Amino acid sequence: MSARLVLIVVLGAALVASSVALVYVQHQRRALFMELKDLEHERDRIQVQWGQLQLEASTWAAQDRIESVAVDKLGFRVPVPADVVQVQR
């Protein structure tokens, strides 16, 4: 075989290998991009859920709600002056 033919075969093999590598890298890039978009969607969903939980927590801790539960469910009431006892030091 002549040197020129060997060079053409080597360059052809390098071209094929380079093309296969390019296709593989493009496939990986697309797969990673899709994974990124899925993770961003999940992040957005979790942020919305976190906001809802914060709103719910603030609702449960509202002073009016606590007072309502204390009165309705626990039977708490404001003491009448006759029930108040002052403790002397």
Domain ranges of the chain: 3-75
pLDDT per residue rounded down to tens, the chain (89 residues): 799 999 999 999 999 999 999 999 999 999 999 999 999 999 999 999 999 999 999 988 888 888 888 899 899 988 898 888 989 88
Residue 74 is classified by DSSP as T
Q: What is the pTM of this model?
A: 0.58
pLDDT in tens, 32-57: 999 999 999 999 999 999 999 999 99
Query: DSSP letters along 30-89, please?
Result: HHHHHHHHHHHHHHHHHHHHHHHHHHHHHHHT-HHHHHHHHHHTT---PPPGGG--PPP-
